[in-house]
Amino acid sequence: MAEQVTGTVKWFNDEKGFGFIEQADGPDVFVHHSAIQSEGFKSLKEGQSVTMEVSQGAK
């Protein structure tokens, strides 16, 4: 199981369905709307604090 880390949403484009999250101790992380675990419309707000598992995906 991957380690849970916290970060802050740097930006998220609702139309394109992706954005980036800033980690306190690491590089910015790409996020796709399909990875968001919430009900309804899957979006993030700039400045929102999030908890996540970081994994390496295909480019």
* CATH code of the domain containing 18: 2.40.50.140
> Which residue has better confidence, 47 or 25?
47
Other CB atoms within 10 Å distance of the CB of residue 13: 12
Other CB atoms within 10 Å distance of the CB of residue 41: 8
CA angle 27, 17, 32 (to 5 degrees): 40
Q: Which domain holds residue 13?
A: 4-53
The answer to whether residue 58 sits within a structural domain is no
Q: How far is CA 46 from CA 3, 14, 20, 37, in A?
A: 23, 11, 9, 17
**Structure confidence at residue 22 (pLDDT):** 97
The answer to whether residue 8 sits within a structural domain is yes
Give the number of domains in the chain: 1
The answer to whether residue 17 sits within a structural domain is yes
The answer to whether residue 59 sits within a structural domain is no
Question: What's the pLDDT tens digit per position in 27-53?
Answer: 999 998 888 888 777 889 999 999 988
